[in-house]
């Protein structure tokens, strides 16, 4: 490995980040890196999920955390919640189980506790309410513990409900009707959000296509909800009305956008675009992009709303419906200003941040 190169990239990643601070900890016993990225506390304490993942390198993990934390700032700003943006990444050599998992979560929980409430966390990829229960033994700065432990539970089903409102808003904008019957939606990634979304879409009468790198997962889900499974290598080029990315980010790029055969991109993945220019590319290709941090706010709205803001079911439903309303405004604004929806959403987030007292 070219170490000087890695050092430079590391310095570059942190120096060009517009965030506040990164807490770094190396857990020697497991060889895991812990990064807690606090991007902004302009609107309140930083909040964001904990992602556990096997990365190619600590640098890759740090970059993911930095970008995800920035996305959380925009997400809370646009959703109108009194939180800032943060994200934690646990870069593990392999996903731990049992006692080893609990031990690592304990080390991570000490790091959260040391921040004294400037960072609150919830679930993200490969973490569950049961993990938050373990973290909560050491630090109380947690949203989304299990229901049995008095928490509000998983965000995934609520993220999925919010994405459904987002898809309807996009359909209404493109086709003049939010109706799902007669429409084809391809759900890419059938994890905690994608699997729920596929079920909701099928219930609403859409033709649902599902795809996942774990092909047996996709086939199983397809059989269960009445969807069709598509081989992952054909996902991008499969004709559909809505392409819904619900897995890891960065899948929409200069290379992949020309291959797409959809009218709309609307899904739950964070950081769907490789770069903001890809929002412009989608626009040039006549594809309506529902910006990820607006569309996927449902889980954060649910966990933070019910635990920190005392929201009841009705208030949560209102907030989820608001995702569709906000997207409709962004679509109109993007057309009026002649900019991509991605840029219109970023501008809205920046206005909200600038307006904060
Ligand atoms: N990790 C999820 C997201 O990216 C949900 C979440 C965020 C849950 C913050 C709780 C707190 O939005």
Q: Report whether residue 142 contacts ligand 1, using a CB cutoff of 6 Å.
A: no
Whole-angstrom Cα distance, residue 229 to residue 216?
Answer: 9
- Listed residue (98, 102, 90) closest to 134, CA to CA: 102
Task: Looking at the CA of residue 125, tell me the nearest atom of ligand 1.
Answer: 1
Residue 143 has pLDDT above 60, yes or no: yes
Task: Give the mean pLDDT of 193-206.
Answer: 97
Residues near 31 by Cβ (< 8 Å), separated by ≥ 6?
A: 92, 93
Overall average pLDDT of the 288-303 stretch: 97
Q: What is the pLDDT of residue 249?
A: 82
- Say yes or no: CB of residue 295 within 6 Å of ligand 1: no
Confidence of residue 248 (pLDDT cuts 50, 70, 90): confident
Percentage with pLDDT > 70 across the chain: 99
What pLDDT shows up at residue 2?
54
Per cent of the chain over pLDDT 90 is 96
Q: Let me know: does 250 contact 275? Beta carbons within 8 Å.
A: no
| Distance in angstroms (rounded) separating the CA atoms of residues 119 and 106 | 16
| Cross-strand pairs, 186 | 209, 243
Cα–Cα nearest to 342, from 285, 284, 277, 298: 277
Query: Which of 40, 51, 73, 123 to probe ligand 1 with, by most ligand atoms within 8 A of CB?
Result: 123
Q: How confident is the model at residue 174 (pLDDT cuts 50, 70, 90)?
A: very high
Structure letter (DSSP) for residue 229: E
Instruction: With cut-offs at 50, 70 and 90, classify the pLDDT of residue 3.
Output: low
> What pLDDT shows up at residue 356?
85
Q: Are 221 and 190 in contact (CB under 8 A)?
A: yes
- Which of 38, 49, 121, 306 gets mutated to test ligand 1 (max ligand atoms within 8 A of its CB)? 49
How far is ligand 1, taken at its centre, from the CA of residue 49, in Å? Answer: 5
* CB 141 less than 6 A from any atom of ligand 1: no
45 lines ligand 1 (CB under 6 A): no
Its pTM stands at 0.95
- For atom 12 of ligand 1, the residue with the nearest CA is 300
Cβ(298)–Cβ(159) under 8 Å? yes
Q: Are 132 and 146 in contact (CB under 8 A)?
A: yes
For atom 9 of ligand 1, the residue with the nearest CA is: 48
* Mean pLDDT of the 64-85 span: 96
Torsion of CA 155, 156, 159, 160, to 10 degrees: -150
pLDDT band at 4 (very low <50, low <70, confident <90, very high): low
Which residue's CA is the closest to the ligand 1 atom numbered 6? 300
Q: Please work out whether the CB of residue 270 comes within 6 Å of at least one atom of ligand 1.
A: yes
Residue 86 confidence class, pLDDT cut points 50, 70, 90? very high
Query: How many whole angstroms separate alpha carbon 288 and alpha carbon 292?
Result: 12
- Residue 296 CA: nearest ligand 1 atom is 12
Which residues are part of the catalytic machinery?
A: 87
């Amino acid at each position: 490995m070219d170490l000087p190169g890695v050092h430079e990239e590391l310095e570059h990643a942190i120096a060009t980040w517009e965030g506040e601070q990164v807490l770094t900890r190396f857990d020697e016993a497991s060889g895991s890196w812990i990064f807690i990225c606090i991007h902004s506390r302009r609107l309140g304490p930083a909040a964001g999920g904990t992602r556990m993942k096997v990365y190619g390198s600590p640098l890759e993990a740090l970059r993911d955390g930095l970008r995800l934390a920035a996305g959380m700032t925009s997400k809370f700003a646009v959703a109108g919640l009194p939180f800032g943006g943060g994200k934690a990444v646990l870069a593990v050599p392999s996903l731990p189980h049992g006692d080893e998992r609990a031990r690592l979560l304990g080390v991570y929980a000490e790091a959260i506790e040391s921040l004294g409430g400037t960072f609150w966390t919830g679930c993200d990829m490969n973490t569950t309410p049961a993990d938050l229960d373990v973290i909560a033994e050491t630090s109380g700065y947690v949203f989304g513990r299990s229901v049995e432990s008095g928490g509000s539970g998983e965000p995934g089903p609520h993220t999925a409900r919010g994405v459904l409102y987002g898809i309807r808003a996009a359909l209404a904008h493109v086709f003049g009707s939010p109706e799902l019957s007669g429409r084809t939606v391809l759900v890419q990634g059938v994890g905690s959000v994608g699997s729920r979304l596929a079920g909701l879409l099928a219930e609403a009468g859409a033709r649902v296509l599902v795809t996942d790198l774990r092909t047996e997962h996709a086939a199983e889900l397809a059989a269960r909800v009445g969807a069709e499974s598509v081989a992952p290598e054909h996902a991008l080029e499969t004709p559909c009305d809505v392409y819904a990315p619900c897995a890891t980010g960065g899948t929409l790029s200069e290379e992949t956008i020309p291959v797409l055969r959809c009218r709309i991109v609307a899904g739950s993945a964070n950081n769907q675009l490789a770069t903001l220019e890809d929002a412009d590319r989608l626009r040039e290709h006549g594809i309506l992009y529902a910006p990820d941090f607006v569309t996927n706010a449902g889980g954060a709205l649910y966990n933070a709303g019910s635990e920190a803001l005392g929201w009841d079911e009705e208030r949560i439903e209102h907030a989820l419906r608001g995702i569709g309303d906000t997207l409709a405004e962004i679509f109109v604004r993007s057309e009026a200003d002649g900019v991509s929806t991605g840029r219109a959403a970023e501008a809205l987030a920046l206005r909200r941040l600038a307006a904060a007292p």
